[in-house]
Structures are given as C-alpha cells and as structure tokens.
Amino acid sequence: MPSAGEEKLAYRLFTGPDDRDFCERVSAALAEGYVLHGSPAATFNGSTVIVAQALVLPAAIASADAAVANAVDELDSDEFGADEAFEGHA
C-alpha cells in the first residue's frame, strides 16, 4: 500500500502461490479501488500452483483511452498531409 502522500500505481501485478494470502492481497487491492485487468494466469512449478493477476485503477484506463482517442483524432486530421501523401494511389 502507498504511504501517506504517495500516489497509487496505475498498474499492479500480483503473483504468488494460489492460496488465501494471494486472494487477500488481490481483495485488498480491489477494496482500494483497483479493478481486475485481464484473466488470471496460472502455472505449476512441480509442487505448487503459482498464479498472477493484473489490476489497474479505473482512472488509468480512462486516461489511456483518452490518449488513444487523441492519437486517432490526430491521425484522422490533415495535420500530416495524409491526403497529399496518398494522392494518385488507389
């Protein structure tokens, strides 16, 4: 957990044995406002199932979505002279 005045990370990846402690750590992050990102991953190391789960803050998703939308808008604009670059091509 971040200390007082420390900003939360936008992305966190939890890994560890598939046990109660792992589930408690993920549950605590969910209670802090994180959301699951993607499906969990699991592997077997010969004796223990090891799991991983990514979590992100919803604000990070919104920020990334906005950045992608802005980038697409810039590509769609004539700012780069795209019309002239492809003039005469089918």
Alpha helices in 1-90 (DSSP H): 20-31, 58-76, 82-85
81 or 28, which is more confident: 28
Give the pTM: 0.65
24-45 average pLDDT score: 97
6 or 47, which is more confident: 47
12-40 average pLDDT score: 97
Give the chain's radius of gyration (CA, Å).
21
Structure tokens at 7: 């900003």
Q: Which amino acid is at 7?
A: E
- Euclidean distance between the first and the last CA atom of the chain, given in angstroms as a whole number: 56
Residue-level pLDDT at 1? 56
Decide if pLDDT at 18 tops 80: yes
33 or 82, which is more confident: 33
